[in-house]
Amino acid sequence: MIDTNIQKHYIAIIGGSISGSEAAFTLAAKGFKVVVFEMNDLPYGKIEDGLPKWHVGLRDKQEKNIDQKLNHENILYVPNVKIGRDINFEDLVKNWGFTVIIIANGAWKDRDLPINDINKFIGNGLIYQNSLLHWYNHKHEPNYKGSNVEIRDGAVVVGGGLASLDVVKLGMIELVQETLFSKKGILVDLFEFEKNGIATVLESNNTNLQELQIKGLSLVYRRTARDMPLKSPKDDTPENVEKAKLVSEKLLQKYLDKYLFKFIPLSIPIDIIEKDGALKALVLQRVTIENGKIISKPGDTLTIETPMIISSIGSLPEQIKGLQYEGSWLKMEGKGNYKVYGYNNVFAIGNAVTGRGNIQESKVHGKRMTEKIIDKHLVEGDLLEDWLENLNTDLINKVDKNVAAIESFIKTQKVIPDSIIENILIKTKELQEKVGYTTYTDWIKSKTPIRLENLIK
């Protein structure tokens, strides 16, 4: 049984999407109070800006699920506030009074394509996955103000995971859709292309890539189709690993047949060729796989002419000042740990720490880790001494000038004092009012953009 006093803890969650909403709901359902800080209007993260917009069913189901979780009386939603930009992390720790802070900020920084000086082509021959998908998912909105992207024929997608299949498919559909319309005046909507495949759509319109003079996109991968992480094996047994490899191979073939892109396996981009400041070709190191290891022979290269590279080699967490990182990843108190290095009351969940790109995994991780935080720390109240140590003196003075009195209060009550809760509520309300937020339902209703499927009905 949970003591109702435990409710007197306020928990901050950074990021409101899959893992953040799961954590918020897990806490709220047990009576804890939560503030969710979200950098965007909507709390849907990769569901809104990552999954390509043809995933209508999956998107609507997951967004509804996030809404059901966040629209809870114990949760205060604060949109348009990016921790690290609008509020310093240190400020959140010292000046607010949250008992616990949970980082659920996902992975929004594209991994740099490892080719010297390549980023000078961004916007002119090079695009990374996150920007591509943001444009793609929102370009149909009447008030879309982002940059425009032109998918160039012969573009090369570098990647290998499920997301890169979505990326190369998106590029092919976009290219063929545009060309079919400009050359033949035939308008086919995205959903038909996605459902039936490019091959079928072209056939039913008595044409093909050759006639339309489309070279198409290529997907470059460093290993073979069997090695693509498209299906996770059930376990590590050789039979199940082999089964997963066969599924990956079959899945890729299905995509190749349906969406007509080319596949270039066993190749690693190492250089580019440019002319007059424009991207002309991508140089690939050819490799072989021996005992699972990638072996490259110097000089064995392949140069493919291309006007555009789309990099889909994964995303990393955006770094938040005040937290420590090991390489690109948040430094934790140990491998597989949920505790963030340097703090006793800061934890991290979801893509931000797992680095795995899957909705279910992010959900499970968010829920499990939050249950651990509740059982091991909040119920025990063992965080409160560190919590007091972290607090700014001004905030302590607000509660009671006598630190010893607060110490004895938190030791006996195992909750945070009312005046701290009041401080959190005042600050939260200010931020909500600044953006015109009133209720969760009204906010979501007013900020959800028009959907493409409704525009083309």
Ligand X SMILES: Cc1cc2nc3c(=O)[nH]c(=O)nc-3n(C[C@H](O)[C@H](O)[C@H](O)COP(=O)(O)OP(=O)(O)OC[C@H]3O[C@@H](n4cnc5c(N)ncnc54)[C@H](O)[C@@H]3O)c2cc1C
Amino acid at 118: I
Q: Which position's Cβ is nearest ligand X? A: 106
Stretch (H or E) spanning 167: helix 162-184
Segment 235 to 294, residues that bind ligand X, using CB under 6 A:
none
Nearer residue to ligand X within complex by CB, 82 or 215 = 82
What the block records as the tokens of 366 is: 């968010």
Q: What is the DSSP letter of 144?
A: -
Residues 6+ apart with CB under 8 A from 426: none
Binding mask 352-391 for ligand X (x = CB under 6 A): -----xxxx-x-----------------------------
d(C-alpha 21, C-alpha 441), whole Å: 15
* Least Cβ distance, residue 14 to ligand X (angstroms): 5
The one among 8, 9, 11, 19 contacting ligand X by CB under 6 A: 19
Binding mask 164-183 for ligand X (x = CB under 6 A): --x-----------------
d(C-alpha 424, C-alpha 373), whole Å: 20
Quick check: 88 binds ligand X (CB under 6 A)? no
Residues 6+ apart with CB under 8 A from 223: 160, 265, 266, 289, 294
Nearer residue to ligand X within complex by CB, 48 or 406 = 48
* Least Cβ distance, residue 427 to ligand X (angstroms): 15
The one among 24, 28, 35, 47 contacting ligand X by CB under 6 A: 47
The one among 27, 34, 35, 51 contacting ligand X by CB under 6 A: 51
d(C-alpha 172, C-alpha 166), whole Å: 10
Distances (CA, A) of 110 to 105, 107, 113, 128, 213: 14, 8, 9, 7, 32
The one among 31, 67, 71, 82 contacting ligand X by CB under 6 A: 82
* Least Cβ distance, residue 300 to ligand X (angstroms): 32
Quick check: 428 binds ligand X (CB under 6 A)? no
Residues 6+ apart with CB under 8 A from 294: 222, 223, 268, 287, 288
Question: Closest by alpha carbon to 148, among 116, 178, 187, 168?
Answer: 178
Nearer residue to ligand X within complex by CB, 171 or 417 = 171
Question: Closest by alpha carbon to 272, among 282, 264, 262?
Answer: 282
Amino acid at 109: K
* Least Cβ distance, residue 365 to ligand X (angstroms): 8
Nearer residue to ligand X within complex by CB, 99 or 351 = 351
* Least Cβ distance, residue 431 to ligand X (angstroms): 12
Q: Give contact residues for ligand X (rule: CB under 6 A).
A: 14-20, 37-40, 43, 45-47, 50-51, 82-84, 104-106, 108, 133, 162-163, 166, 318, 320, 350-351, 357-360, 362
